[in-house]
Amino acid sequence: MSEQSTELRESVRQRYAAAAVRVTERGGGCCGPAPVEADESFGSTLYTADEREGLPAEAVAASLGCGNPTAVAELREGERVLDLGSGGGIDVLLSARRVGPTGKAYGLDMTDEMLALAVANAARSGVANVEFLKGAIETIPLPAATVDVVISNCVINLSVDKSAVFAETFRVLKPGGRIGVSDVVAEDSLTPAQRAERGDYVDCVAGALSFAEYRAGLEAAGFTDVEITPTHAVADGMHSAVVRAVKPVV
C-alpha cells in the first residue's frame, strides 16, 4: 500500500473512531444521543420510523450512511448477511430482524471504537444472531462462499482499493448470492479532480467511483446483473445510489 493510501485509510479510521467516541460519551440519556451527522443526505433520517423503533438510540445516532441497504437487499428468512463497514451496527441489527433466528448477520469494521459500540448495541437489543468481526473490507476474514448477501452503507467509496473490495465480496458470496449496497457514485462526466473539489475523501465524496467505473469494477470481479440506481443528490454531480449485482451460480 502506498504512503498516500495508508494516510487516507488512517484518516478514515480516525474520523469514524471519533464519531463512535462522541456517541458513547453522550450516552443514551432520556432522549438518546444526538446524531453525529446533521446533513439530511446521510444518517438515520434515511431509515423509516418503524425501522428505528426498538433500536438502541446509540445505534441510530451512529448511523453515517448515505442510504438504507437493508431496504433494498430483499433479505429472506434464514439467510446469512455480511455488512461491510458496519459502524455502530444499525444495518446489522436490522438485517438480523429480517433473516430471523435461523439466519445470521455479520458486521465487519476496522475501527475498534465502532466495533465496541456495535457489540454494546447488539447487547442492548438482545439480538443473538449477530457477530462483529474486525478487519478491512479489502481482506474479509471469512471463508469463501460463506454468505448469501453482502450489504454496505456508504463505505466502499472510502476504500483505497475498490477492486480488492469487489473481488473479496465476490469470493465470500455463495454462488447465486447477491449484493445490495448504498454508496456515493459520481456522474461519468466528472473527473477525479472534479470529484475532489466537491468534498473530502473521508466525507464519502472524493473517493467515489463514477457509474461506469463502478459497473466495470463489479463486472471485472465476476458479477452479473449489475444495476446502479441513483436515489438522491449529495453534491453537484454526485449521488447516493443503490447498487445491486449477482454472483452467477455457475
Q: Which percentage of the chain shows pLDDT scores above 70? A: 70
Rounded to 10°, the helix 90-99/112-125 angle is: 40
53 dihedral zone (left: phi>0; alpha: psi -120 to 50; beta): beta
Q: Tell me the pTM.
A: 0.82
Q: Quick one: average pLDDT of 224-230?
A: 96
Check residue 150 and report its DSSP letter. E
CA angle 82–20–50, rounded 5-degree value: 60
pLDDT in tens, 7-30: 666 666 567 656 656 665 665 433
Contact call for residues 248 and 175 (beta carbons, < 8 A): yes
Asked if pLDDT for residue 61 goes beyond 90, the answer is no
| All domains in the chain, ordered by first residue | 3-246 (3.40.50.150)
Residue 232, pLDDT score = 87
Identify the helix (H) or strand (E) that includes residue 5. Answer: helix 3-26
Cβ atoms within 10 Å, residue 14: 13
38-to-34, 44, 184 alpha-carbon distances in Å: 9, 10, 17
pLDDT in tens, 179-210: 999 899 999 999 999 998 887 766 667 789 99
Q: Kindly provide the residue ranges of all beta strands, DSSP E only, lying in the chain, ordered along the sequence.
A: 80-84, 104-109, 130-134, 147-153, 173-186, 224-235, 238-246
* Residue that wins the pLDDT comparison between 204 and 138: 138
